[in-house]
Amino acid sequence: SGKCSPSSGQSLEPLLKTLKDLTGPDTCVLCCYEQRTMGNNPEIERRYFELLQVDFELEKIPLDKHDEEFRSADIHILNIHRKPTVGWF
């Protein structure tokens, strides 16, 4: 089928291309996600972060910095920045 969904992993490349197209040297992306452990989700998550780190630097926000009311061990927040490239001033 032509289905494109996060659970199939087919949406990873378009998502990464969009992030790359919309970010510059001074852009900060905050990424918040709930870690999923069922089905093929762990493999898709691993692949996403592997591909993301080609062009981006990731900084995990420690759990003690999350909002007290909403923090949970399976909720992750990342600060994402583009890696410097030649030609950016």
User: How high is the pLDDT of residue 39?
Assistant: 86
Separation CA 18–CA 48 (nearest Å): 13
What letter represents residue 39's amino acid? G
Q: 13-17, 50-54, 82-86: lowest mean pLDDT where?
A: 82-86
- Tell whether 57 is covered by a domain: yes
Separation CA 57–CA 79 (nearest Å): 8
- Tell whether 25 is covered by a domain: yes
Domain tally, the chain: 1
- Tell whether 65 is covered by a domain: yes
- Tell whether 6 is covered by a domain: no
- Tell whether 87 is covered by a domain: no
- Domain range enclosing 50: 11-82
User: How high is the pLDDT of residue 89?
Assistant: 56
* Mean pLDDT value across residues 14-38: 92
- Pairing of the two strands 75-82 and 28-34: antiparallel
